Protein backbone atom coordinates (compact mmCIF):
# COMPACT_ATOMS: atom_id res chain seq x y z
CA UNK A 1 0.00 0.00 0.00
CA UNK A 2 2.85 2.38 0.86
CA UNK A 3 4.49 1.61 -2.49
CA UNK A 4 1.25 2.38 -4.36
CA UNK A 5 0.69 5.59 -2.40
CA UNK A 6 4.26 6.71 -3.10
CA UNK A 7 3.82 5.96 -6.80
CA UNK A 8 0.63 7.97 -6.99
CA UNK A 9 2.26 10.88 -5.18
CA UNK A 10 5.26 10.84 -7.54
CA UNK A 11 3.00 10.67 -10.57
CA UNK A 12 1.00 13.66 -9.34
CA UNK A 13 4.21 15.59 -8.57
CA UNK A 14 5.78 15.05 -12.01
CA UNK A 15 2.48 15.80 -13.76
CA UNK A 16 2.26 19.07 -11.84
CA UNK A 17 5.87 19.95 -12.69
CA UNK A 18 5.25 19.17 -16.36
CA UNK A 19 2.26 21.51 -16.36
CA UNK A 20 4.39 24.25 -14.77
CA UNK A 21 7.06 23.84 -17.45
CA UNK A 22 4.45 24.02 -20.22
CA UNK A 23 2.95 27.17 -18.70
CA UNK A 24 6.38 28.77 -18.49
CA UNK A 25 7.01 27.94 -22.15
CA UNK A 26 3.70 29.51 -23.13
CA UNK A 27 4.56 32.64 -21.14
CA UNK A 28 8.01 32.87 -22.74
CA UNK A 29 6.51 32.54 -26.22
CA UNK A 30 3.97 35.25 -25.43
CA UNK A 31 6.71 37.58 -24.19
CA UNK A 32 8.75 36.96 -27.33
CA UNK A 33 5.82 37.97 -29.51
CA UNK A 34 5.31 41.32 -27.76
CA UNK A 35 6.36 44.19 -30.01
CA UNK A 36 6.49 41.96 -33.11
CA UNK A 37 2.87 42.30 -34.18
CA UNK A 38 2.73 43.24 -37.85
CA UNK A 39 1.36 46.78 -37.92
CA UNK A 40 1.76 49.12 -40.86
CA UNK A 41 2.30 48.60 -44.56
CA UNK A 42 1.65 50.11 -47.98
CA UNK A 43 -1.03 52.79 -48.31
CA UNK A 44 -1.81 55.76 -50.54
CA UNK A 45 -3.84 58.70 -49.29
CA UNK A 46 -4.06 62.45 -49.90
CA UNK A 47 -2.33 65.16 -47.88
CA UNK A 48 -5.30 67.40 -47.03
CA UNK A 49 -3.23 70.61 -47.01
CA UNK A 50 -1.02 70.18 -50.07
CA UNK A 51 -3.24 67.93 -52.19
CA UNK A 52 -0.25 65.66 -52.82
CA UNK A 53 -0.21 61.87 -52.60
CA UNK A 54 1.05 60.61 -49.24
CA UNK A 55 2.30 57.03 -48.80
CA UNK A 56 4.13 54.89 -46.27
CA UNK A 57 7.40 56.10 -47.84
CA UNK A 58 6.69 59.59 -46.50
CA UNK A 59 6.99 58.19 -42.98
CA UNK A 60 10.61 57.14 -43.44
CA UNK A 61 13.46 59.03 -41.81
CA UNK A 62 11.51 60.19 -38.77
CA UNK A 63 9.41 58.91 -35.91
CA UNK A 64 5.68 59.25 -36.56
CA UNK A 65 2.67 59.30 -34.27
CA UNK A 66 -0.47 58.37 -36.21
CA UNK A 67 -4.05 58.81 -35.01
CA UNK A 68 -7.18 57.58 -36.82
CA UNK A 69 -10.32 59.64 -36.16
CA UNK A 70 -12.86 62.05 -37.64
CA UNK A 71 -13.48 65.78 -37.42
CA UNK A 72 -17.05 65.50 -36.13
CA UNK A 73 -15.97 63.44 -33.12
CA UNK A 74 -17.45 65.22 -30.08
CA UNK A 75 -14.91 64.41 -27.38
CA UNK A 76 -12.63 61.36 -27.65
CA UNK A 77 -10.74 62.41 -30.79
CA UNK A 78 -10.00 65.94 -29.51
CA UNK A 79 -8.86 64.55 -26.16
CA UNK A 80 -6.53 62.00 -27.75
CA UNK A 81 -5.19 64.51 -30.27
CA UNK A 82 -4.53 66.98 -27.45
CA UNK A 83 -2.60 64.25 -25.65
CA UNK A 84 -0.64 63.37 -28.78
CA UNK A 85 0.18 67.01 -29.51
CA UNK A 86 1.34 67.58 -25.95
CA UNK A 87 3.77 64.70 -26.44
CA UNK A 88 4.93 66.11 -29.78
CA UNK A 89 5.56 69.56 -28.26
CA UNK A 90 7.56 68.15 -25.35
CA UNK A 91 9.61 65.90 -27.61
CA UNK A 92 10.40 68.80 -29.96
CA UNK A 93 11.41 70.93 -26.95
CA UNK A 94 13.88 68.20 -25.99
CA UNK A 95 15.65 68.79 -29.32
CA UNK A 96 16.49 65.13 -29.90
CA UNK A 97 18.61 64.25 -32.92
CA UNK A 98 15.74 62.58 -34.82
CA UNK A 99 12.52 64.37 -35.85
CA UNK A 100 8.97 63.30 -34.97
CA UNK A 101 5.86 63.88 -37.09
CA UNK A 102 2.19 63.80 -35.99
CA UNK A 103 -0.32 62.45 -38.54
CA UNK A 104 -4.14 62.45 -38.46
CA UNK A 105 -5.98 59.97 -40.69
CA UNK A 106 -9.69 60.53 -41.28
CA UNK A 107 -11.96 57.48 -41.11
CA UNK A 108 -14.92 59.55 -42.29
CA UNK A 109 -14.17 60.53 -45.91
CA UNK A 110 -17.83 61.32 -46.64
CA UNK A 111 -17.73 64.42 -44.45
CA UNK A 112 -14.01 65.02 -43.91
CA UNK A 113 -13.08 66.96 -47.00
CA UNK A 114 -9.49 68.23 -47.26
CA UNK A 115 -10.73 71.71 -46.34
CA UNK A 116 -12.59 70.39 -43.28
CA UNK A 117 -9.50 68.52 -42.09
CA UNK A 118 -7.21 71.53 -42.53
CA UNK A 119 -9.63 73.70 -40.54
CA UNK A 120 -10.01 71.05 -37.83
CA UNK A 121 -6.28 70.57 -37.35
CA UNK A 122 -5.70 74.29 -36.76
CA UNK A 123 -6.71 73.61 -33.15
CA UNK A 124 -3.84 71.16 -32.71
CA UNK A 125 -0.10 71.06 -33.36
CA UNK A 126 0.95 73.16 -36.35
CA UNK A 127 3.12 70.36 -37.75
CA UNK A 128 0.33 67.81 -37.92
CA UNK A 129 -0.39 66.34 -41.35
CA UNK A 130 -3.99 65.43 -42.15
CA UNK A 131 -4.74 62.54 -44.52
CA UNK A 132 -7.91 61.53 -46.33
CA UNK A 133 -8.88 59.68 -49.49
CA UNK A 134 -11.39 57.34 -51.04
CA UNK A 135 -13.25 55.04 -48.66
CA UNK A 136 -11.48 51.93 -49.99
CA UNK A 137 -8.06 53.58 -49.67
CA UNK A 138 -8.73 54.48 -46.05
CA UNK A 139 -10.09 51.01 -45.40
CA UNK A 140 -6.88 49.52 -46.82
CA UNK A 141 -4.67 51.64 -44.57
CA UNK A 142 -6.81 50.82 -41.54
CA UNK A 143 -6.47 47.13 -42.33
CA UNK A 144 -2.66 47.17 -42.41
CA UNK A 145 -2.60 49.22 -39.20
CA UNK A 146 -5.16 46.90 -37.56
CA UNK A 147 -7.56 49.79 -37.00
CA UNK A 148 -11.27 49.10 -36.66
CA UNK A 149 -13.83 51.60 -37.91
CA UNK A 150 -17.52 51.34 -38.74
CA UNK A 151 -18.24 54.15 -41.22
CA UNK A 152 -20.65 52.83 -43.90
CA UNK A 153 -19.36 53.72 -47.39
CA UNK A 154 -22.56 55.19 -48.84
CA UNK A 155 -23.56 57.84 -46.32
CA UNK A 156 -24.33 61.37 -47.43
CA UNK A 157 -22.19 64.25 -46.09
CA UNK A 158 -25.35 65.79 -44.65
CA UNK A 159 -26.23 62.67 -42.64
CA UNK A 160 -25.86 62.94 -38.87
CA UNK A 161 -23.86 60.01 -37.48
CA UNK A 162 -20.94 59.02 -35.30
CA UNK A 163 -18.08 56.76 -36.29
CA UNK A 164 -17.06 53.88 -34.05
CA UNK A 165 -13.31 53.36 -34.31
CA UNK A 166 -10.18 52.14 -32.52
CA UNK A 167 -8.87 54.67 -30.00
CA UNK A 168 -5.11 54.36 -30.33
CA UNK A 169 -2.28 56.31 -31.79
CA UNK A 170 0.63 54.45 -33.26
CA UNK A 171 4.35 55.13 -33.02
CA UNK A 172 6.29 54.20 -36.15
CA UNK A 173 10.09 54.18 -36.34
CA UNK A 174 12.19 55.97 -39.00
CA UNK A 175 12.64 52.63 -40.79
CA UNK A 176 8.87 52.36 -41.19
CA UNK A 177 8.41 49.65 -38.58
CA UNK A 178 5.86 49.62 -35.80
CA UNK A 179 7.14 50.48 -32.31
CA UNK A 180 4.16 50.83 -29.95
CA UNK A 181 0.50 51.82 -29.63
CA UNK A 182 -1.06 54.05 -26.98
CA UNK A 183 -4.70 53.99 -25.91
CA UNK A 184 -6.87 56.06 -23.61
CA UNK A 185 -5.48 54.35 -20.50
CA UNK A 186 -2.09 56.03 -21.07
CA UNK A 187 -1.60 59.50 -19.64
CA UNK A 188 0.25 62.11 -21.66
CA UNK A 189 3.19 61.83 -19.26
CA UNK A 190 3.37 58.06 -19.74
CA UNK A 191 3.26 58.39 -23.52
CA UNK A 192 5.88 61.14 -23.50
CA UNK A 193 8.30 59.08 -21.41
CA UNK A 194 7.80 55.98 -23.56
CA UNK A 195 8.20 57.83 -26.84
CA UNK A 196 11.30 59.64 -25.62
CA UNK A 197 12.75 56.34 -24.42
CA UNK A 198 12.18 54.71 -27.82
CA UNK A 199 13.73 57.68 -29.61
CA UNK A 200 16.74 57.54 -27.30
CA UNK A 201 17.13 53.82 -28.01
CA UNK A 202 17.07 54.58 -31.73
CA UNK A 203 19.78 57.22 -31.30
CA UNK A 204 21.89 54.57 -29.57
CA UNK A 205 21.59 52.18 -32.49
CA UNK A 206 18.46 50.12 -31.84
CA UNK A 207 16.51 49.38 -35.02
CA UNK A 208 12.93 48.44 -34.29
CA UNK A 209 11.59 45.48 -36.25
CA UNK A 210 15.07 44.48 -37.42
CA UNK A 211 16.02 42.37 -34.41
CA UNK A 212 17.05 38.78 -34.80
CA UNK A 213 14.07 36.40 -34.48
Task: Please report, in range form, the residues annotated as the binding site for Cu cation.
Answer: 73, 77, 165
The partner residues of 104 in beta bridges, in order of sequence, read 67, 130
Around 85, how many Cα atoms within 13 Å sit in the side-chain half-sphere?
16
- Long-range contacts, stretch 179-184, CB < 8 angstroms, 24+ apart: 179/35, 179/63, 179/208, 180/35, 181/39, 184/76, 184/80
DSSP state of 165: B
DSSP state of 75: S
Is residue 106 within 8 A of residue 117, CB to CB? The reply is yes
Numbered residues of the known binding site: 73, 77, 165
SS3 category, 45: strand
Amino acid sequence: MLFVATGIALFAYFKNEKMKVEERKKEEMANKSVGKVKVGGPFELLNAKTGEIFTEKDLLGKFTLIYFGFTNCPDICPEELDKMCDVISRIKDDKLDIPIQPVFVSVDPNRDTPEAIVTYLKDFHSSMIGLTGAYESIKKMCKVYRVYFSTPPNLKPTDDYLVDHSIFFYLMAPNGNFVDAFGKIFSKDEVYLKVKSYMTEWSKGKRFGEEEP
